[in-house]
Structure formats: structure tokens, C-alpha cells
Amino acid sequence: MLPPHADIARNGLWGKNIFIGSALVDMYAKCGELGKAQEVFDMLPERNVITWGALITAYSQLGRAENTLSIFNEMIKQGNKPDRVVFLSILNACSHAGMIDNGQTYFEAMSVQCGIPSTMEHHTTIIDLLGRAGQLQWALEMMMKTPFHPTNVMWLALLVA
């Protein structure tokens, strides 16, 4: 008996259903199979924020910041509007790559250009970004100015830095 994903691929179901395609991209990414995830993504007949987000998150989680930002920019160029999950992956990629300027730019663009209000997770990721880059004072100031009460996770991000 074939594994379910092989049966889906053999029958071409991922190409007929955007949710199945997104799930396959996500599954391959979580298995560390970026090539397969990219292959499924490239063959999808249509894409939405979920499919783009699955691929962006995959590259972000595996530390491929340049690819993450490149795919994000392609998503925008093709007229797709990002959501807060996509921005969280973008900020996470910037944090792990030490891209302070990019992280700040995307954080501001999220609310100013896209009208997406930042969540506690976005603020925590920015604090992590600043802390990892050695900008401890700036990270502390950011934490104190956040519209959320500083959480244990925010403090931990700062203390780890």
C-alpha cells in the first residue's frame, strides 16, 4: 500500500485542490524536504496566501532567510496579500539571520502598508531579533513600549541574548 502522499501525487489530487497542495508543501517542508516542497508549490495551478505561507514558513524554519525574503517578494509581485502568519515567518527569518534593518522594515510595513495589526508574537520576534544582534538596550526599550504586557517569552528572549 502506498503512503497517502504518494497516492495523492500519483492521482494528481494536489493539483486539483489548493488545500491538499498546501498541506503537501507543509508536510515536505516539515520533513526537511525543501526541494520536494518547492516542486509541489511550483506545480500548483493556483496559489493563495496559504500556499505561499507554507513555502515561506518552510524556508524560514530551515534558516534560509534569503530564499524566504525572495519568495515573499515574489508573492507580493504576483498580487498576493500577506497575512500575519506570513509576516511572522518573515520576521523570524530576519531574526535568525541577524537582519535588523530588514526586520524593522517588514515589521513597520506589516501595519503601515498592509494594515495588519501586530500581535504579541510579532513583538516577541522583534525583541528576539534585536537581542540576537546584540542590541540589548533597543530590545529592552521595544519590550517596554510594546502594547502588550511583557510576557515570560519576551523576557526569555531578552535574557538569552
State residue 26's pLDDT score. 87
- For residue 1, what pLDDT is reported? 44
Q: What is the mean pLDDT of the chain?
A: 89
Q: How far apart are CA 65 and CA 9, in angstroms?
A: 29
In the predicted structure, residue 14 carries a pLDDT above the cut 60: no
Report the CATH architecture of 4-118.
Answer: Alpha Horseshoe (1.25)
Q: Residue 23's pLDDT is what? A: 85
Mean pLDDT, residues 36-46 taken together: 88
For residues 14 and 90, give the distance between their C-alpha atoms in angstroms, rounded to a whole number. Answer: 26
Q: Specify the pLDDT at position 16.
A: 61
Residues 6 or more apart whose CB falls under 8 angstroms from that of 36 comprise: 28
Q: Where are the domains of the chain?
A: 4-118
Q: Are 57 and 85 a contacting pair, CB within 8 Å?
A: yes
pLDDT of 139 reads 94
pLDDT of residue 2: 41
Instruction: Report which secondary-structure segment, H or E, holds 48.
Output: none
User: Do 133 and 95 meet the contact criterion of CB atoms below 8 Å apart?
Assistant: no
Assign residue 150 a region: left if phi > 0, alpha if psi is -120 to 50, beta otherwise? Answer: beta
Q: Around Cβ 26, how many Cβ atoms within 10 Å?
A: 19
Where does the pLDDT of residue 10 fall: very low under 50, low under 70, confident under 90, or very high at 90 and above?
A: low
Cα angle: 75, vertex 80, 84; to 5 degrees: 90
pLDDT tens readout for residues 148-161: 999 999 999 998 88
How does pLDDT run across 100-130, given as a tens digit for each residue? 999 999 999 999 999 999 999 999 999 999 9
Three cell numbers, residue 141: 526599550
- What's the pLDDT tens digit per position in 56-97? 999 998 889 999 999 999 999 999 999 999 999 999 999 999
